Amino acid sequence: MKPHQIQIDEQGRLKHFISIEGLPRDLLIAILDAAQSFAGVGERAIKKLPLLRGKTIATLFFEPSTRTRTTFELAAKRLSADVLNINVQSSATRKGESLLDTLRTLEAMHCDMFVVRHPMSGAAQLIASHVAPHVRVINAGDGRHEHPTQAVLDCFTIRRVKGDLSSLVVAIVGDVLHSRVARSDIHALNILGVGELRVVGPKTLIPPGVEALGVRVFYDLEPGLRDADVVIMLRLQNERMQGTLLPSAHEYFQAYGLTAAKLAVARPDVTVMHPGPINRGVEIDTAVADGPHSVILQQVSHGIAVRMAIMSMAMGSQAAPRRTR
Ligand code: NCD
């Protein structure tokens, strides 16, 4: 079964959240709209809604993470769920059986939802196909495959800052090859009908055949950034690189690092994004990361609202998705 087949129930509602690929446009828009309604909760004196009261959510991270795990935790707590954080130290070679064993143990504790990050592509789907029927699974990043909640928060951020996506030029810059964020972003932005989608980076870090996903490829930064409305910078994922794909971090910064001078070819009101963690002086200069075009910290806040929307919809606490556009 494909990831997108497992994540939607017979009524077309979100059941698990495994991938953006194959997600119906209506459902993606319904998630964005629900996130919009949750966005104000963090600014209230009492930051809680009772939607998931009495539910137990386990975050199961087989890879290190700070912002994704903590924003999932905060989102679950703001929905009044009980949260169990489990850090599982595992090597990339631990697969299949040990993963399902951990899961059985957690199921015996009557968890209602698992938020899973795993170095193996397909791990979240594997878990979703083995859990009890009432249990929900959210993919918080599986290997190089997808990071669907990140893509939703990226689209949410772009929609909030820029409004309509249909006339926008969006450039995704850097280590596209190893990036699950890039894959999910490409699918999400295409589903939403972005004007023009580009990927920019050295040949060794651009997946061969990526044009088939509906992107324009640029191997040089300047033409890739020219007239861009939105620039999404990616971290060099050294931990996923085998062999030497790059000369050095310094040379990478010279060629592909985003500085204020290089950004000048983009639109004057360009928005700069990054999923984090950022490597200052490698893919992005401090002056840009902290500069007036950057929405990197807003992305983190939006991540909470988006994860609240996804968790409550998957748990069936939201009204059925409605068409709004
Ligand atoms: C991303 C990830 O883990 O894929 N980060 C994140 O979720 N905030 C991107 C990255 O690690 O570079």
Q: How far is the CA of 11 from the centre of ligand 1 (A)?
A: 32
| Ligand 1 proximity of 303 Cβ (cutoff 6 Å) | no
| CATH 3.40.50.1370 residue spans of the chain | 3-145+301-314, 148-300
List Cβ<8 Å contacts ≥24 apart for 193-198. 193/165, 193/166, 194/165, 194/166, 194/168, 194/170, 195/165, 195/166, 195/167, 195/168, 195/169, 195/170, 196/168, 196/169, 196/170, 197/170, 197/172, 198/169, 198/170, 198/171, 198/172, 198/224, 198/228
**Do 325 and 16 form a contact (C-beta atoms < 8 A)?**
no
Residue 233 Cβ inside 6 Å of ligand 1? The answer reads: no
Position in ligand 1 atom list of the atom nearest CA 179: 4
Who contacts 43 (Cβ-Cβ below 8 Å, separation ≥6)? none
Asked if residue 240 has its Cβ within 6 Å of ligand 1, the reply is no
Question: Running along the chain, 325 residues long, what does each successive block of 10 average in pLDDT?
Answer: 80 95 96 95 89 95 91 97 83 57 84 94 93 95 97 98 97 97 98 98 95 97 98 89 75 96 98 96 97 98 98 75 43
**What global pTM score does this model have?**
0.93
Instruction: Confirm whether 117 is a catalytic residue.
Output: yes
Give distance in angstroms: CA of 300 to centre of ligand 1.
12
Fold (topology level) of 148-300 = Rossmann fold (3.40.50)
Ligand 1 in reach of 180 Cβ (< 6 A): yes
CA of 66 to the centre of ligand 1 (A): 9
Q: Tell me the CATH number for domain 3-145+301-314.
A: 3.40.50.1370
CA distance 257 to 160: 26
Task: Tell me the per-residue pLDDT of 15-29, one tens digit each, with 9 for 90 and over.
Answer: 999 999 999 999 999
Contact 238, 265 (CB under 8 A): no
| 68 assigned to active site | yes
pLDDT digits (tens, 9 = 90+) for 109-142: 899 999 999 999 999 999 999 999 999 999 999 9
